[in-house]
Amino acid sequence: MKEKLSIDTIAVHGAYRPDATGSTNPPLYLSNAYKFRDAKHAADLFDLNAEGYIYTRLHNPTTSLLEETVAALEGGVAAVAASTGHFAEFMLLTSLAGKGDEIIASDCLYGGTINMFSSTFRRFGINVKFARQDDPASFEALVTDKTKAVYIEAIANPASDIPDFEAISRIAERHGLPLIVDNTCATPYLFRPVEYGAAAVIHSCTKFLGGHGSVMGGVAVDLGVFDWVASGRFPEFTEPDPSYHGVVYSKDFGSSALAVKMRAGAMRDVGGSPSPYNSMAILQGIQTLHLRMERHVENTRKLAEWLKGSDRVAWVNYPGLPGNKNFALAEKYFPKGPGAMLTFGVKGGVEAGRRFIEKVSLCVHAANLGDVKTIVTHPASTTHRQLTSRQRVSAGVPDDLIRVAVGIESAEDIISDFEQALS
């Protein structure tokens, strides 16, 4: 068999290998705790001197399979699953930054992420500074000796903007900073950040990885490529951790230092672990990821082209359309297609857009994406409602914008539903 498997095969088989029972599907371990062999075994587990299970807040065998599968999909060394994508963000970034530290983030992000960075992180004393995603130099201008990470989305939600990964990665590398990429909207099938200098990847598994709109989940992947010692910015990785009897993450855990620190710190002290059932459901969704993404992209292109030709539509934004401001970046970084999300505005402004959303019948009006069903959302009144008008404009979310997360139904049926709603 090939030494290096394709994304398609990894998605289908994952990390599971049949156990003594011969079961072709992994078991669901509904256990909150795990029996120790003896007192020494227990002590070694709590001191991080042995691998194994203690308590499901930290580890669960079913969830471990999800972590190993997503790490393999992203080309990483380890991953830590979480209850939501939002907690995965929190877990990863608070493992890197604390009071007095800074993070540089794109100004073109999901509204909930902007809220967390602007509000909750600020209360913790972490200052997030926003750079212009379309201007890589603006990231470098914000770097100080307090900077701990650079954060971007592979495909911005909902603006669909695509960053220049190579340019931003070079800046992060030049200053000894880890580049963190939220790959939720792209998925590892369409884009792998590890190939462009990223240090870690975040997913909301609630979206395309799970794919069926049934459960919540998140995961943070340690790509194992960042040198915590050479950077000189991370004493918490290179000096003893008193909460674990002097463990030194960079020395004791090498390339998986970030993953261990997330589990040993944020997951131990804050929680946010996924349900084992949710982990199993997400694993089942991943098995068809490659097939679903092909259909998602195909349908999105067809719908974008139809909207472009409609006399009832004011504008259409999809990176896969020639003439789009992101088209060149999409061609460069997304040869399989730039995702399954598009935005558009209805002639007549906000009220016309609201009428459209209320008239769709096949499509679902909800605040989610990545489902097998097509979902329409008005971000200014939902996902980005807590932002100021200025923040919404900066994030690429004008008030008339309608976000469409295109599903895998018949493209003709989706277009028919849009046509009747618009008329």
What gap in Å lies between CA 187 and CA 155, rounded to an integer?
Answer: 10
Q: Is 41 helix (H, G, I), strand (E, B) or coil?
A: helix
Nearest-angstrom CA–CA distance, 207 and 199: 22
SS3 breakdown of the chain: % helix, strand, coil, rounded to 5?
Answer: 40, 15, 45
| pLDDT (tens place) for every residue of the chain, 423 residues total | 456 899 999 999 999 988 888 999 999 999 999 999 999 999 999 888 899 999 999 999 999 999 999 999 999 999 999 999 999 999 999 999 999 999 999 999 988 899 999 999 999 999 999 999 999 999 999 999 999 999 999 999 988 999 999 999 999 999 999 999 999 999 999 999 999 999 999 999 999 999 999 999 999 999 999 999 999 999 999 999 998 889 999 999 999 999 999 999 999 999 999 999 999 999 999 999 999 999 999 999 999 999 999 999 999 999 999 999 999 999 999 999 999 999 999 998 878 888 899 999 999 999 899 999 999 988 777 666 666 777 766 666 777 889 999 999 999 999 999 999 998
Q: What is the pTM of this model?
A: 0.94
The order of strands in the sheet holding 179-182 is 78-82, 218-222, 200-204, 179-182, 147-153, 102-106, 127-131
> Read out DSSP for 342-381?
EEEEETTHHHHHHHHHHH-SSSEE-S--S-SS-EEE-GGG
Q: What is the DSSP string of 117-131?
A: IIIIHHHTTPEEEEE
Q: What residue type is assigned to position 128 of the chain?
A: V
d(CA 420, CA 40) in angstroms, rounded, equals 69
Q: Which of 159, 164, 180 is nearest to 111 (CA)?
A: 159
Q: Which domains are seen in the chain, by residue range? A: 7-285 (3.40.640.10), 290-422 (3.90.1150.10)
Encoded tokens for 232: 């000189």
Check: CB of residue 382 under 8 Å from CB of residue 111: no
- Could you identify the residue written with the tokens 């969704």? 285
Rounded Cα–Cα distance for residues 205 and 217 (Å): 5
